[in-house]
Amino acid sequence: MLGWRGLDAARQCADNHAMRSTYDSATVRLYHLSDGPEGGAVNTLCYAPLAEALRVAAAQPSEMWEGLFIATDNDVIAYLDLAPDDL
């Protein structure tokens, strides 16, 4: 889905903190953006309904959470913007 040029666009889009409405069973892509010497990498963790993707994200080490993003068919948002406040 995202190429190398899409990394900055995804981060910028997620920084807007606004997401169109969606629903728990909407299929989303959960992925991790890692920084690296050549611009980083995109690692897809799953394609799943939103509710399941949120469970998968919560199960990741907390050090990863800042780099987790959820993409719907028309939006990208940082996992931490959707995560419960008590994490």
Range of the domain at 39: 6-82
Phi then psi dihedrals of residue 36, to 5 deg: -160, 175
In this structure, is residue 1 part of a structural domain?
no
Render the burial of 24-55: b for 16+ CB within 10 Å, e for the rest: eeeebbbbbbeeeeeebebeebeebebebbbe
pLDDT (0 to 100) of residue 85: 73
In this structure, is residue 16 part of a structural domain?
yes
Structure tokens at 57: 């994200």
Number of domains in the chain: 1
In this structure, is residue 17 part of a structural domain?
yes
In this structure, is residue 32 part of a structural domain?
yes
The average confidence (pLDDT) of the chain is 78
In this structure, is residue 87 part of a structural domain?
no
pLDDT (0 to 100) of residue 22: 65
In terms of pLDDT, which residue wins out, 31 or 6?
Answer: 31
Q: What is the pTM of this model?
A: 0.71
Question: Residue 5 above 70 pLDDT?
Answer: no
The pLDDT tens digits of the residues spanning 59-85 come to: 999 999 999 999 998 889 999 998 877
